[in-house]
Amino acid sequence: MALNTPHAPAIATAEATSSATGAQIAAALREAGIAALLTLGLSIPILAFKTEQNQANALYLQPRWGVVAVACALIFALRFVLCLRAARRAAAPPRLKAPASPALQKLFGIAVPLFLGVAVAYPVLATLASGGLGGARYWVDLGILILTYVMLGWGLNIVVGLAGLLDLGYVAFYAVGAYSYALLSTTFGWSFWLCLPLAGILAAFWGIILGFPVLRLRGDYLAIVTLAFGEIIRLVLINWVDLTNGGAGISSIPRVTFFGVPFDSSEGGFASLFGIPFSPMHRMIFLYYLILMLALITNLVTIRLRRLPVGRAWEALREDEIACRSLGINTRNTKLTAFAIGAMFGGFAGSFFAVRQGFVSPESFNFLESAIILSIVVLGGMGSQVGVAIAAVLMVGAPELLRNLDFLKQVFGAGFDPNEYRLLIFGLAMVAMMVWRPRGLVGHREPSIVLTERKAISGSLVKEGHG
Amino acid sequence: MRWQDDPVLEVEHLKMRFGGLVAVNDLSFSVGRGDITALIGPNGAGKTTVFNCITGFYRPSEGMLSLRHGDGSTLLLERLPGHSISWKAKVARTFQNIRLFTGMTVLENLLVARHNPLMLASGFTVFGLLGLPGFRDAERQAVEQAKFWLEKINLIDRADDPAGDLPYGAQRRLEIARAMCTDPILLCLDEPAAGLNPRESHELNELLLSIRQDHGTSILLIEHDMSVVMGISDHVVVLDYGTKIADGTPEEVRNDQSVIAAYLGVEDEEVEHVEAEVGL
Ligand SMILES: Nc1ncnc2c1ncn2[C@@H]1O[C@H](COP(=O)(O)OP(=O)(O)O)[C@@H](O)[C@H]1O
Ligand SMILES: [Mg+2]
């Protein structure tokens, strides 16, 4: 392996950088050969045979050795190139770590207002692009979905990215928020605006309840317990039929109103109040701006919190818990606030989910949701707000994009459904990320306070937390 | 002797057991107010364990640790929860292997040390979130204090660099400055001179002397470097296998037979013989 190549003496490195030595090529060839063999081994059960039906409706195995050969050759070539590059880089004199270049920093400076502008103008853009309110339905819906995940990502980012506590059960708080709104509004008839803060408070309360027992746990153990907590909430929702109506869920949840004015075609509805023709899209667009506002509030509060003592204590906790204790930080309370505030935003997002769907059931809150939200945080770069937003767009938007790649059907034949390859592409993307950007899309940390000059902190110094 | 007349910390019959191992056994000593007290002893003698008991990381198996503030009030450290020892008792510490927040800037490291006062000023986050002026003033003060320490340890130019990027000696100094930002009355330093070159070691001595002089902070330090110990300390306590074998001024300890024996690793009776052999 490239890592095993002995460190060449300093004089030899100069020529090693210009051309790969024979030994390096041999090592890379061997490495590539092993990889190709592995691929062969793996592809025999996966790729080599396809089950087909013959005329008699009997299954038979159709060998596809050509595909296997192509896969092995591809892996061989890829691995060979990768190994050579790694060997050359190891031999090259270590480059000084370049701080984030000014150009990149400037790009970030533009990216934020740009994102914000696009997000605010999105429904208008979608309407213009699809020629009419009705046509924009799909796009606005997608925008709402993405923003929901942006908000959830930002909420979880407080727990995982800032405080460094690995939480695999975040969806539990999303569920608490959704059911809070569903139950409060259907039972007491309370309005969304009253239920929203209540849902947040209830979720925060559950965050603290979860926080107490798990605080002494670290790393893997914390992850397992939070995972279990997420499942417990889901199972309670399924089995406590009296309260939650079990697996059937709660339907006919009151729809969102424009501060009391319903979005319907009646007298006194939104459309007639403003003297415009009725369209079901009005509610959609209102929902879009509602979640945009909620997400932005989450973001603003988080940015603010990072600059307050509590936010610094979260990050310090992620860096070194023992040092925190020696400086008089109550680590238990600090972790609890992280859990509670993260959960609160999850609860807000949950009640938004309920009011948007008009229907909640335990199905919507399974582990996959937690996994997606956590991937968004990890992919974005732990602790980076911009990174999380980009990751949410990629993770939620890209699968939708895949659905629309109809031109691929012309290339691969009518039976080709790019959507079926979603998880494969997702897996490949994750592997690529781990190789090239192990610290996430935004791999550096912004300092929370500056004395003279703002400098980004390289991700390699920032710890990931330990539990 | 100041450590007898006006102790800031009194350790009485301290015992720390780890399963069958007794790391510290019936240890009693006092730290004088305004003194620089050195705790020395061979590796594994139990010095770090004593620190961990004083700063609340271990709960002593037996014994009493009383901290006397200048106003006469006394706190029993072994009864305080870990985080109160810095905040209420005003005891700060550094670690044998440096524990900085490497991914945070030098300035942020110092501000984390002001967590409790800033937390109060920010109304437990509520006022801070609303951006009330009280918190801003408190934060400005904290930054001023940080700047003072950064100038003192010659790191003011690197205030916005990540702490993990600093050279080793600077990290040691920063850790001391961070501990000082909690306004301690007793500062415990675990091998602060370990790994420093002679020049850095000399600077460290200057820093410790000025901390004692300008801030009235008493210092308890673990040290292996005898030039540091003999040069700046007023009082030396020697530990071997968890028990105290000597306690007194540097001169008294320097000439103590059992100390020499412990450091050379021989029986008391053979000391003179060995000394002659190694040319002492
Ligand atoms: N947490 C612990 N658990 C078990 N043994 C410990 C623990 N901490 C220290 N010890 C033991 O106590 C003894 C004293 O250690 P220490 O206080 O670190 O010595 P030193 O004087 O070199 O700082 C050693 O034998 C060490 O192995
Ligand atoms: Mg030690």
| Global ipTM | 0.87
Q: Between B40 and A87, whose confidence is greater?
A: B40
Encoding tokens for residue B123? 């109304």
Question: Residue A377: which of A353, A395, A360, A365 has the closest Cα?
Answer: A395
Residue A328: is its pLDDT beyond 80? yes
Q: What is the pLDDT of residues A375-403, one digit of tens each?
A: 888 888 877 888 888 888 888 888 887 77
Q: Do B105 and A337 touch (CB under 8 A)?
A: no
pLDDT score, position A148: 93
Instruction: Tell me the β-bridge partners of B40.
Output: B238
pLDDT score, position B268: 57
* SS3 of residue A320 by DSSP: coil
Q: Residue A322: CB partners within 8 Å, gap ≥ 6?
A: B57, B95, B99
- The answer to whether residues A133 and A24 belong to one domain is no
Burial tier of B34 (Cβ tally within 10 Å: 0-12, 13-18, 19+): middle
Q: Within a domain: residue A155?
A: yes
Answer whether B49 contacts ligand 1 (Cβ < 6 A). yes
Q: Across residues B225-234, what is the average pLDDT?
A: 81
Q: Across residues A181-197, what is the average pLDDT?
A: 86
Of the residues B131, B152, B182, the one at which a domain ends: B182
Residue A108: is its pLDDT beyond 70? no
pLDDT score, position A1: 38
Domain tally, chain B = 2
Q: Across residues B217-227, what is the average pLDDT?
A: 86
Out of A299-313, A370-384, A395-409, B106-120, pick the least confident.
A395-409
Residue B41: is its pLDDT beyond 70? yes
Q: Across residues A29-42, what is the average pLDDT?
A: 89
- The answer to whether residues B201 and B83 belong to one domain is yes
Q: Between A352 and A64, whose confidence is greater?
A: A352
- The answer to whether residues A270 and A207 belong to one domain is yes
**Residue A101 pLDDT grade (very low, low, confident, very high; cuts 50, 70, 90):** low
Three-point CA angle B45, B49, B51, nearest 5°: 115
Out of A319-323, A361-365, A419-423, pick the least confident.
A419-423
- The answer to whether residues B5 and B43 belong to one domain is yes
Encoding tokens for residue A225? 């317990």
Task: Please state the atom number of ligand 1 nearest to the C-alpha of residue B96.
Answer: 23
Of the residues B182, B200, B234, the one at which a domain ends: B182
Q: Between A143 and A464, whose confidence is greater?
A: A143
Q: What is the pLDDT of residues A285-298, one digit of tens each?
A: 888 999 999 999 99
Query: Which CATH number covers residue B7?
Result: 3.40.50.300
- The answer to whether residues B189 and B178 belong to one domain is no
| Closest chain B C-alpha to A322 CA, distance in angstroms | 8
- The answer to whether residues B196 and B154 belong to one domain is no
A315 Cα: distance to centroid of ligand 1 (angstroms): 29
Handedness of CA B176, B179, B183, B188 (dihedral sign): negative
pLDDT score, position A242: 82
pLDDT score, position A204: 92
Residue A7: is its pLDDT beyond 80? no
pLDDT score, position A195: 87
pLDDT score, position A50: 81
SS3 content of chain B, % helix, strand, coil (to 5): 45, 25, 30
**Residue B171 pLDDT grade (very low, low, confident, very high; cuts 50, 70, 90):** very high
Q: Across residues B238-264, what is the average pLDDT?
A: 81
Residue A313: is its pLDDT beyond 90? yes
Query: How far apart are alpha carbons A385 and A163 in whole angstroms?
Result: 14
Residue B35: is its pLDDT beyond 80? yes
- Nearest neighbour of A323 by CB, restricted to B101, B111, B118: B101
Domain tally, chain A = 2
Query: How far apart are alpha carbons B223 and B211 in whole angstroms?
Result: 17
Answer whether B21 contacts ligand 1 (Cβ < 6 A). yes
- The answer to whether residues A133 and A207 belong to one domain is yes
**Residue A92 pLDDT grade (very low, low, confident, very high; cuts 50, 70, 90):** low
CA distances from A240 to A173, A307, B85, B246 (A): 17, 42, 46, 69
Q: Residues B250, B226: contact at Cβ < 8 Å?
A: no
- The answer to whether residues B191 and B86 belong to one domain is yes
pLDDT score, position A311: 92
Task: Please state the atom number of ligand 1 nearest to the C-alpha of residue B16.
Answer: 12
pLDDT score, position A8: 41
Element (H, E) at A59: strand A59-63
Query: How far apart are alpha carbons A298 and A196 in whole angstroms?
Result: 14
Handedness of CA A172, A178, A182, A188 (dihedral sign): positive
* SS3 of residue B235 by DSSP: strand
User: Range of B244's domain?
Assistant: 1-90+184-280
User: Range of A275's domain?
Assistant: 114-394
pLDDT score, position A95: 53
Share above pLDDT 70 across residues of chain A, in percent, rounded to a whole number = 88
SS3 content of chain A, % helix, strand, coil (to 5): 70, 5, 25
pLDDT score, position A62: 81
Encoding tokens for residue A246? 């079990």
- The answer to whether residues B104 and B166 belong to one domain is yes
**Residue A151 pLDDT grade (very low, low, confident, very high; cuts 50, 70, 90):** very high
Residue A9: is its pLDDT beyond 50? no
Q: What is the pLDDT of residues A40-74, one digit of tens each?
A: 888 888 778 888 888 888 888 888 888 888 888 99
Query: How far apart are alpha carbons A385 and A300 in whole angstroms?
Result: 10
**Residue A18 pLDDT grade (very low, low, confident, very high; cuts 50, 70, 90):** very low
pLDDT score, position A277: 72
Q: What is the pLDDT of residues B172-208, one digit of tens each?
A: 999 999 999 999 999 999 988 888 888 888 888 889 8
How far does Cα B226 stand from its chain's mean position? 17
**Residue A159 DSSP one-character state:** I
- The answer to whether residues A155 and A68 belong to one domain is no
Q: How many helices (H) and strands (E) does chain B have?
A: 13, 10
| Closest chain B C-alpha to A335 CA, distance in angstroms | 14
| Closest chain B C-alpha to A331 CA, distance in angstroms | 8
- The answer to whether residues B150 and B235 belong to one domain is no
- B128 CB neighbours in chain A (<8 A) are 304, 308-310
Q: Do A451 and B108 touch (CB under 8 A)?
A: no
Across all residues in chain A, what is the average pLDDT?
Answer: 81
- The answer to whether residues B9 and B117 belong to one domain is no
Query: How far apart are alpha carbons B157 and A193 in whole angstroms?
Result: 50
Chains A, B: CB contacts within 8 A come to: 133
- The answer to whether residues B152 and B227 belong to one domain is no
Residue A228: is its pLDDT beyond 50? yes
Q: Within a domain: residue A77?
A: yes
- The answer to whether residues A25 and A153 belong to one domain is no
Answer whether B52 contacts ligand 1 (Cβ < 6 A). no
- The answer to whether residues A83 and A121 belong to one domain is no
Q: What is the pLDDT of residues A332-348, one digit of tens each?
A: 889 999 999 999 999 99
Substitution target from B104, B124, B183, B187 for chain A, most A beta carbons within 10 A:
B104
- Nearest neighbour of B86 by CB, restricted to A301, A328, A462: A328
pLDDT score, position B133: 76
Residue A154: is its pLDDT beyond 90? yes
**Residue B264 pLDDT grade (very low, low, confident, very high; cuts 50, 70, 90):** low
Q: Within a domain: residue A103?
A: no
Q: Across residues B218-242, what is the average pLDDT?
A: 86
| Distance in angstroms between the alpha carbons of the first and the last residue of chain B | 29
Q: What is the pLDDT of residues B48-92, one digit of tens each?
A: 999 999 998 899 988 889 988 888 788 888 888 888 888 888 899
Q: Do B160 and A451 touch (CB under 8 A)?
A: yes
Q: Across residues B122-146, what is the average pLDDT?
A: 81
Instruction: Tell me the β-bridge partners of A51.
Output: A61
- Other CB atoms within a 10 A radius of the CB of residue A232 amount to 13
Of the residues A335, A370, A394, the one at which a domain ends: A394
**Residue A442 pLDDT grade (very low, low, confident, very high; cuts 50, 70, 90):** confident
Burial tier of A236 (Cβ tally within 10 Å: 0-12, 13-18, 19+): middle
Nearest CA to ligand 1 atom 4: B18
Residue A178: is its pLDDT beyond 80? yes
Residue A11: is its pLDDT beyond 60? no
Q: Between A232 and B277, whose confidence is greater?
A: A232
